[in-house]
Structure 1
Amino acid sequence: MRLNDPQVWTLIGVFAAVMLGGMTLMTTQLSRIIRTEVDRIDGTLSARMDLIDGTLSARMDRIDGSLSARMDGLDGTLSARIDGVDARLGRIEAKVEDLDKELTNLATRFWRSQ
């Protein structure tokens, strides 16, 4: 069977339409699959990031509480030591004042005796 020119061009058009339709269908399906997979990966990553954020926040809060407790303890210790040093300095100052009075009395006696 021989085909004339209009029949050949009709077959070429039908073949081209079928091929373009098939490629369009495959591209659309592939696009949907890729979009679905990207959304799934995005959901998974978001969940993991939220988990990591929660874990890090809990750890940072625990570290902050621990450091605050240690700083408060250190502050109390240093305050007690500073109070002890202040008391010692007060006693030394009183002794120096007493010594100064005694030296003043001795100098007065020595210079007046000449």
Structure 2
Amino acid sequence: MGFMNDAQIWTMIGSFTVLMFSTLTVVSTLFVRIVRSEIAGLRTEMNGQLGGLRTEMNARFDTVNTRIDALDRDVQAIVKRTFGLDRE
């Protein structure tokens, strides 16, 4: 009366299995693409941040080096004046 025979049941099971595997494949492929694009964006952002940090630290090190050079000059002038080395 409307019942399916064994061949129709196995055809439905096979169709459902193919549908489930194809859905799983599509979802996992899209997930991998999204994860890769997010990692690439994070990598780009991190490289930008590290570049900015490197630039800032180099500028600060240059400032410290300039101050040390000025301090060295001042100490040399004090030593020359104290020990009379500038009278030669």
Structure 2 gap ranges (5+): none
1:50 aligns with 2:9: no
Which SS does the other structure have where 1:97 is aligned? helix
AA in 1 matched with 2:84: N
AA in 2 matched with 1:102: R
Report how far residue 29 of structure 1 moved: 4.6
Q: Which residue of 2 aligns with 1:61?
A: 40
TM-score by length of 2: 0.77
Q: What is the CA–CA distance in structure 2 between the aligned matches of 1:104 and 1:45, rounded to whole Å?
A: 86
1:85 aligns with 2:64: yes
Report how far residue 85 of structure 1 moved: 0.7
Of structures 1 and 2, the one with the larger relative CO (CA 8 A, separation 6+) is 2
Count of aligned positions? 81
Deviates more, 1:86-95 or 1:54-63: 54-63
Report how far residue 41 of structure 1 moved: 0.8
Structure 1 gap ranges (5+): 1-24, 107-114
> Deviation digits for residues 75-99 of structure 1, max 9, x if unmatched?
1111111111111111011111111
Q: What is the CA–CA distance in structure 2 between the aligned matches of 1:30 and 1:102, rounded to whole Å?
A: 106
Determine what percentage of the aligned residue pairs are the same residue: 19
TM-score by length of 1: 0.62
Higher helix share: 1
Q: What is the CA–CA distance in structure 2 between the aligned matches of 1:97 and 1:35, rounded to whole Å?
A: 91
- 1:1-114 matches, within 5 Å, as 26=6, 29-105=8-84
> Deviation digits for residues 39-66 of structure 1, max 9, x if unmatched?
2111101101111111111111111111
